[in-house]
Amino acid sequence: MFGWIIPPPKPSKKTKETFYHERQLKVAFLKQKGYLKSRIIEKAMLKIPREHFVPCSYRDHTYEELPFPLPGKNSTISCPHSYPMFYEAIALSSGDNFLEIGLGSGYGAILAAEIVGPKGKVTSIEIDHDTFLYAQERISKFEYPNLFLIEGDGGKGYYPHAPYDKICLTAACVEIPPPLIDQLDEGGKLITPRSSSRASQDLVLLEKEIGGNIKVITIEKVLYVSLQGEYGC
Ligand SMILES: C[S@@+](CC[C@H](N)C(=O)[O-])C[C@H]1O[C@@H](n2cnc3c(N)ncnc32)[C@H](O)[C@@H]1O
């Protein structure tokens, strides 16, 4: 699926302690590879149990660099390295008003809520009803009053909480949806996978400078599910 070989589903046997040990090793690996740099993102990745967001039948593979299918039509929980890769690029930090398009498992949203802290706010939108219910159930085990889950088309953004300091799309667009650029604050950053052809996607970082000028740079090649909805592929 999506260019990765997913291991066959099987019941989870690992203990909480084993998962915590694997989480520490993964964080050390991401630092060594240069994906993880800031202490605030490192602390959040050590704190949040990613295994809680991975479906039971794939849970023992939680800390491998693999995406796993979620309930819903085209939903996955992304590879572990993709979270610091996105969040470091936009410099997600304490106090940010953050918008995520593509809630998926809820892991990225919880990580972000931990990073922005009580002075920040996270709004995450999911278009697939079954995926939304899955994430909502996972997230209900945590207490993050600064995290808001919205079911709908994230390409349109969410005006009631705009303007945003940082925006992240976790599904690949062809053109960055104009409402998202409109809802990004001046000085804000948006990151998204963008399809450059049928077979290739670039991870691009958009910065809205003070005064409104837009600057876009390409970071690297990636592989993500396609954005759906009004601005979908
Ligand atoms: C790679 S997955 C998200 C991974 C997620 N951030 C996580 O931590 O598990 C991409 C998600 O984007 C969702 N999606 C696609 N188009 C969307 C849209 N227009 N609005 C909101 N969600 C969308 C898909 O249903 C899928 O769940």
Ligand 1 proximal residues by C-beta, below 6 Å: 72, 74-78, 101-102, 104-105, 107-108, 125-128, 131, 153-155, 170-171, 224-225, 227-229, 232
- What does the pLDDT read at residue 140? 97
Whole-number percent of the chain with pLDDT over 90: 91
- What does the pLDDT read at residue 3? 62
Nearest atom (ligand 1) to Cα of 100: 6
Does the structure show a pLDDT above 50 at 1? no
**What's the whole-model pTM score?**
0.96
**Which residue has a Cα nearest atom 8 of ligand 1?**
108
Interval between CA 128 and ligand 1 midpoint (Å): 8
51: helix, coil or strand? helix
Locate the domains of the chain by residue range.
65-222
Average the pLDDT over 120-132 and give the result: 98
Which among 78, 82, 105, 124 is annotated as catalytic? 78
Higher pLDDT, 56 or 2: 56
Q: What homologous superfamily is domain 65-222 in, according to CATH?
A: Vaccinia Virus protein VP39 (3.40.50.150)
**Which residue has a Cα nearest atom 20 of ligand 1?**
154
For 121, the token pair is 């706010």
CB proximity list for 133: less than 8 A, separation 6 or greater: 71
pLDDT tens per residue across span 31-89? 999 999 999 999 999 999 999 999 999 999 999 999 999 999 989 999 999 999 999 99
Does the structure show a pLDDT above 80 at 157? yes
Average the pLDDT over 11-17 and give the result: 92
pLDDT tens per residue across span 27-46? 999 999 999 999 999 999 99
